[in-house]
Structure 1
Amino acid sequence: MKKIGAVSLACLLAASALLSGCGKSNDKGDASSSGGSEYKSIGYVCSALGDKSFTDLSWSGIQRTASDLGMTAKAIEWGTDKSKMEPCIRDAAESYDIVLFNGNEYVEILQRIHTDYPDVKFIATDMTPTLEWDIPNLFGVNSKQHQGDFLAGALAQKMSKTGTIGLVAGTDTVSINDFIIGYVQGSLQANPSGKVAHSFIGSYTDTAKAKELALVQISQSKADIIHQVAGGAGLGVFEACKDNGIWGIGVDADQREFFVESKADLADVILTSMMKRNDMSMEKAIRDTVAGTAEYGKLNMWGVAEGVTVLAKNDFYKANVPQETQDYIDDLEKKIASGDLVVKTVYGMEQDEFVSIRDSVKP
């Protein structure tokens, strides 16, 4: 049977058109700089800021940590032309003490070029556990999104009146299917007879198609709460939820907080978000590096127990989710963190098993 294997970046293509080049900087630290650490500067390589999701969340954690530690930080954006990824990584490595980025594609580039920069510390988050690499100056992080989406699926099913919930995803990739498998398991935990509709946009920027697919789930499948796992395209999902008076669930960051001032009407349909707290991952990795306690050359697996893949329990969530349901979700979270409840991941799962679980809840 075929095993699920390679994966492309998930939820990282930004909705913003604000792009900049890979211009070099002279921010690399030296021993005479302020503070006692040998690390003085941070470079964050990304496609573009402005997605109101994973990329912006990562950058917020880097900025906060740099400020606290008295370091300089700069985002290096390569835009939509992937041929610029390697030059940007090289520029960052030549200019900064610590270089951070998200996803396997960067690591695959680094695998080829890391020997040119033995003194630079690289930090990569959102790595998949199946990626093989041998880079002694790389600190790798995998976020257990299947655990967080288990909580999202359980909450959605508890809040549903029809027993059918939905999920609109960017692309049909292994990492996205890891969200789906968690979401389905959570739904089944909360309601064994519940249904889960799912759709793939084929893009992380096409808001119109995202809205169209969400509307189909609402009208044809009777989904009454929809989770978006589609980066910037997820705005279309929230628009469909707003137009139909149903709840939406965001992804990666606390998306309600991102939109509460700029798009209040959309913010008011976002019941919660399944956060991949990459701001926390970035912060911990940087602080441990500066402190000299980070274990480089290995992949670190962080999830519910570490507070990395969890639901946004903001005031809006607390005001709109019944206390009984909040207590139920809190209990599931504790069980996952302790290991008493094991959520299956798609990585290493037989393809037939994944399809069987996913299709068992089709509306």
Structure 2
Amino acid sequence: MKIKRYSLIAAAAVLALSISACSTSGGDGGDSTDASKSVANVVPGALGDQSFYDDAESGISQLKSDGYATKTLQGDANNPAQWKANLQSVSTGQYGVVVIGSSTSSDTITEVAPKFPKQHYIFYDGEIDAPNVASLTYRQNEGSFLAGVLAALATTNTTDFPLATGSKKVGLVGGMDIPVINDFAAGFKAGVEAVDPSVDVLVSYVGSFSDSAKGYDQATAMFDQGADVVYQVAGGAGVGVLQAAADADKYAIGVDSNQNALQKGHILASMLKHVGASIVQAIQDDAAGSLAYGETTSFGLANDGVGLTFDDNGDIVPQSAIDAIDGYKQKVVDGELSVPSGF
């Protein structure tokens, strides 16, 4: 597949201003409306994760406010057969574009898309080689590199980060041991090492993107081992990680959505992939006839497709640390630093 890159910074700003909550399942049906102005979103799980799927749905909500007829079908996170049935049900032409995402549903779209060759699909957070699928990928390793820089700065500077003990230990709790999560981990470890190679990085996997209790337990174990900061890349399960940081009176880093206010004073930043904004951009490109199906659009640090947000964190990260992180970002953009991948 060919890979294109677009900047999402303007689209993300629009979403931040206009989206205050995610829509629920259902929405406006597309059967009696112009299919070219209708979008269906198939979620291989449930909304309310305050993370990945909610961010994607924020894009659908933006499109609805822009005049699109929308429908969102939620599913059981552990029921791929249901995802397939939901995807097939909206693939018969009543929707101009059908959106589905996350690497967990790659088998679903790979199986269904060839059966509906006239249906256009947007697949986010993965790459599908099919002529009627436009793929959106995110360089989460690059965004996670900055999260690693932040974590290392926090555990080595107790003056600016008073909840840190100077243990030189940080952690990452992933949802599942799969390539996309390992891509987060590879970037995070590299960011930590860039600041201080002597900092230890603890890594564990929940085995689920929805088990917040297990996410809590794994993060608590890391804090008990002395970790000053734990980065959550576990979707809905990661909410437990953030709670564990608050209960341990330590720090966490959120992901996908701005989670900084969930446990204010304990979440240093959130690493955003701007999924919702990328979906809006892709749908706008489709309407303009410029979205290339069978190709992949990539979002990274160079086009502001990923990055850290410090908004709503209670100003617990000093400007000097933010400036240092920006310096590392520029080195990646300029090619001075190469961020390893987990793929």
TM-score by length of 1: 0.79
Contact 1:226 1:249 in 2 (8 A): yes
- The answer on whether the counterparts of 1:20 and 1:78 sit within 8 Å (CA) in structure 2 is no
Match of 1:67 among 65, 86, 92: 65
For the pair 1:210 / 2:209, whether they are aligned, the reply is no
% identical aligned pairs: 34
Q: What do you get for the CA RMSD once the two structures are aligned?
A: 2.3
The answer for the alignment partner of 1:57 in structure 2 is 55
- How far apart are the structure 2 equivalents of 1:296 and 1:282? 14
Q: Relative to structure 1, is the Cα distance of residues 134 and 127 closer, same or farther in structure 2, using a 3 angstrom cutoff?
A: closer
Q: Does 1:337 align with 2:333?
A: yes
* 1:27 equivalent in alignment to 2:31: yes
Is the 8 Å Cα contact of residues 166 and 225 (structure 1) preserved in structure 2?
Answer: yes
2-structure distance, mates of 1:225, 1:24: 42
Superposed displacement of residue 105, structure 1: 4.9
Contact 2:30 2:70 in 1 (8 A): no
Relative to structure 1, is the Cα distance of residues 219 and 172 closer, same or farther in structure 2, using a 3 angstrom cutoff? same
Alpha-carbon offset, residue 125 of structure 1: 0.6
Unpaired segments ≥5 residues, structure 2:
1-22, 156-165
Aligned partners of 1:24 and 1:91 also within 8 Å? no
SS at match of 2:310: coil
Letter in 2 for 1:187: V
* Distance change >3 Å, CA 153–CA 28, structure 1 → 2: farther
1:15 paired residue number: none
Q: Could you say what secondary structure the match of 2:167 adopts? A: coil
CA offsets 1:234-269 (integer angstroms, 9 cap, x no match): 122122211221111111111125x3xxxxxx2332
**2:259 corresponding residue in structure 1:** 255
Q: 1:151 is matched with which residue? A: 146
Provide Cα deviations, 1:121-149, integer angstroms capped at 9, x if missing partner: 21001105xxxx54212110111111110
Is the CA contact (8 Å cut-off) linking 1:19 and 1:48 kept in structure 2? no
Q: Please, which of 175, 194, 207 is the counterpart of residue 199 of structure 2? A: 194
Shift of 1:27: 3.4
Unpaired runs of 5+ in structure 1? 1-17, 31-37, 260-265, 348-363
Please report how far the alpha carbon of residue 115 of structure 1 lies from its aligned counterpart in structure 2 after TM superposition.
Answer: 4.2
Q: Which residue of structure 2 lines up, in the alignment, with residue 304 of structure 1?
A: 301
Q: Deviations over 1:53-80 (max 9, x none)?
A: 1001000012113322x21111111224
Deviation per residue, 1:291-342 (Å, 9 max, x gap)? 111121112221111212211131536x221222111111111222233321
One-letter amino acid of the structure 2 residue matched with residue 155 of structure 1: L
Deviation at 1:346, TM superposition (A): 1.6
**What is the CA-CA distance between 1:290 and the residue it aligns to?**
0.9
Once the two structures are TM-superposed, the CA of residue 286 in structure 1 deviates from its matched residue by 0.9
Match of 1:358 in 2: none
Number of matched residues? 308
TM-score (norm 2): 0.83
Q: How does 1:102-121 map to 2 (within 5 A)?
A: 102-121=101-120
Structure 1 window deviating more from structure 2 (152-161 vs 305-314): it is 305-314
